[in-house]
Amino acid sequence: MKSAQQSVFKALADPTRRSILKVLQKGSLTAGDIALKFPMTRASLSHHFNVLKVADLVRTERRGQHIVYSLNTTVFQEMTQMLMELFASDAEDNERSKPQ
């Protein structure tokens, strides 16, 4: 089971994804427009978009042929709260029996 918290931290762990978020701060963009700004294939970027979507850090909207990516506007609040809660329970994943 993957907590929302975990998916957000994972998403933020990659510099390309943080950079995508930064770009989107200036305004929503289509996948293609974002792609112009990054030195990798659209397929690779699509993977990153998906990670950001799973973490609910971005939202999408189809506009004709294009898909427009936007920052989830609650992202900062969420992240701030997440920091406050950084140290709240999030390690249920570790509930295994002790080895050795």
Binding of its own copies by 27 (CB under 8 A): no
One residue of 30, 38, 59, 67 binding its own copies per CB under 8 A: 38
Q: Which amino acid is at 39?
A: P
Using rule CB under 7 A, residue 8 touches DNA: no
Are 21 and 58 a contacting pair, CB within 8 Å? Answer: yes
Choose the contact partner of 54 out of DNA, its own copies, none; CB within 5 to 8 A by kind: none
CB of 95 within 8 A of CB of 3?
Answer: no
52 touches DNA by CB under 7 A: no
How far apart are the C-alpha atoms of 65 and 36, rounded to whole Å? 17
Instruction: Kindly state the DSSP code that residue 57 receives in the 8-state scheme.
Output: S
**Cβ 25 to DNA, closest distance in Å?**
19
Which position among 4, 13, 46, 50 is part of the footprint of its own copies (CB under 8 A)? 13
